[in-house]
């Protein structure tokens, strides 16, 4: 359960593995349709990304998490300010809201959708002009410190009745320290219902190469840092942790659960499932597989029914193989995995247990 005891409509999450944020606009209509239908059949949730909620997200009747980016796409007035009535309307269709502070691929910089990809439909959904570059600010204008972040979480949760969480990359332990101290001072009821921790390995077609290659901590360092801060503060049972950052294989996902994550997010793995070949043309609107283009001719290469089936297979296979790893460790379920089940290889091929390296669990 996410948000149990903290909001009117807590969210029962059914899958360990779930679909991370990929915006309509960045990826195409048939890509969203395939992901939605696959998620609905497989029983996992789908994060909308910061591009807003489209009709295509709803096609598969899947669980949805609405991401609130710095530009508030889908939740904004014409002047860019927050529109409470739109949040209440969208809350009818989604299970939770995720306030995005940053992501591992571009910490400290907002997203960019080139004007060539801003169609009339995308402009209407996002609430922006058609044909103009869609540039997100690098920060939320109304969030300058931890208390303002917690105020924003509480306001959105009270407004919608849905769980509200935060997505962020980490540069050091200071964010988690300040967050936990503020929650303990204010009370656990003001805590985010979940934290999505994104590692620096995360990718996107809308980030400078320098940030993708060199900025933010990798998930191997950021995740135990976040989990330990919550446990040391007595907040781990209150705040669910979602791990993200190139976790595309069952072994990497199992590692995240061992480290203390409750769920795993993946975007890259699902991009591969629906046909991405990493052609590196996301920003040009000429993706040859139809995944990241709004050119109808190129989109014909992405057959929704076929790709939805691949999404289902990927979710089920990943969940099944994570459980297989857990059973091999003597656990009845993947959620019983702990740091003692992982060994970290050091120099000269020697390894040490993860609970020795990070004894917080």
The Cα–Cα gap between 264 and 245 comes to 9
Is residue 80 within 8 A of residue 96, CB to CB? The reply is no
Where in the sequence is the domain holding 89, given as residue range(s)? 17-357
* Bridge partners, 240 (sequence order): 194
| Residue 209 burial by Cβ neighbours in a 10 Å radius (0-12, 13-18, 19+) | exposed
Distance of CA 144 to the CA centre of its chain: 22
Examine the pLDDT at 213 and tell me if it is beyond 90.
no
What does the pLDDT read at residue 314? 97
What does the pLDDT read at residue 113? 87
What does the pLDDT read at residue 203? 67
What is the number of H-type helices and E-type strands within the chain?
12, 12
- Work out the average pLDDT over 50-63: 96
Report angle CA 89, 95, 98 to the nearest 5 degrees: 90
In a domain, 307, yes or no: yes
- H-only helix segments in 51-168: 84-90, 120-126, 146-160
What does the pLDDT read at residue 177? 97
Which residue from 122, 137, 55 is spatially nearest to 93, judged by alpha carbons? 55
**Buried-exposed string 92-110: b where 16+ CB fall within 10 A, e elsewhere:** eebbbbbbbbbbbbbbebb
pLDDT band at 56 (very low <50, low <70, confident <90, very high): very high
What does the pLDDT read at residue 144? 95
- Work out the average pLDDT over 260-283: 93
The Cα–Cα gap between 235 and 232 comes to 8
In a domain, 7, yes or no: no
Per residue in 153-200, pLDDT (tens digit) is: 999 999 999 999 999 999 999 999 999 999 999 999 999 999 999 998
In a domain, 303, yes or no: yes
What does the pLDDT read at residue 359? 86
In a domain, 6, yes or no: no
Examine the pLDDT at 231 and tell me if it is beyond 90.
yes
In a domain, 65, yes or no: yes
pLDDT above 90 covers a percentage of the chain that reads 81
Phi, psi of 24 (to 5 degrees): -70, 120
In a domain, 10, yes or no: no
Which of 141-155, 160-174, 342-356 has the lowest average pLDDT?
Answer: 342-356
In a domain, 190, yes or no: yes
Token reading at 253: 């996902």
> The CATH number of the domain where 351 resides is what?
3.20.20.70
The Cα-based distances of 246 to 46, 51, 53, 185 in angstroms read 17, 21, 24, 35
| Residue 121 burial by Cβ neighbours in a 10 Å radius (0-12, 13-18, 19+) | middle
In a domain, 2, yes or no: no
What does the pLDDT read at residue 212? 74
The Cα-based distances of 11 to 7, 89, 331 in angstroms read 10, 18, 26
What does the pLDDT read at residue 223? 96
Number of domains in the chain: 1
């Amino acid at each position: 359960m996410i948000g149990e005891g903290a909001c009117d409509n807590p969210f029962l999450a059914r899958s360990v593995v779930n679909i991370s944020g990929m915006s309509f606009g960045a990826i195409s209509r048939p890509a969203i349709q395939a992901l939605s239908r696959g998620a609905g059949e497989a029983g996992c949730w789908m994060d909308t990304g910061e591009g807003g909620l489209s009709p295509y997200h709803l096609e598969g009747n899947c669980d949805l998490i609405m991401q609130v980016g710095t530009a508030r796409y889908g939740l904004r007035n014409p002047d860019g300010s927050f529109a409470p009535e739109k949040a209440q309307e969208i809350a009818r269709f989604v299970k939770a809201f995720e306030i995005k502070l940053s992501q591992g691929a571009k910490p400290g910089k907002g997203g960019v959708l080139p004007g060539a990809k801003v169609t009339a439909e995308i402009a209407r959904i996002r609430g922006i002009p058609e044909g103009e570059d869609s540039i997100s600010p690098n920060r939320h204008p109304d969030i300058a410190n931890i208390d303002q972040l917690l105020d924003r979480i509480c306001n959105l949760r009270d407004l919608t009745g849905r769980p509200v969480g935060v997505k962020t990359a980490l540069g050091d332990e200071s964010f988690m320290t300040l967050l936990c101290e503020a929650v303990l001072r204010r009370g656990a009821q003001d805590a985010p219902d979940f934290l999505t921790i994104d590692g620096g390995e995360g990718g996107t077609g809308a980030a400078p190469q320098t940030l993708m290659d060199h900025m933010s901590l990798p998930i191997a360092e950021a995740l135990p840092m976040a989990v330990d801060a919550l446990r040391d503060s007595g907040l781990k049972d209150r705040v669910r942790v979602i791990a993200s950052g190139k976790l595309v294989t069952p072994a990497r996902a199992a590692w995240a659960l061992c480290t203390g994550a409750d769920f795993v997010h993946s975007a890259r793995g699902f991009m591969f499932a629906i046909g991405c070949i990493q052609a590196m043309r996301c920003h040009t609107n000429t993706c040859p597989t139809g995944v990241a283009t709004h050119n109808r001719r190129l989109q014909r290469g992405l057959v929704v029914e076929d790709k939805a089936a691949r999404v289902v297979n990927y979710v089920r296979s990943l969940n099944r193989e994570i459980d297989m790893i857990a059973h091999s460790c003597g656990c009845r379920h993947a959620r019983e995995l702990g740091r003692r089940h992982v060994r970290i290889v050091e120099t000269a091929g020697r390894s040490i247990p993860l609970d020795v390296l990070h004894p917080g669990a």
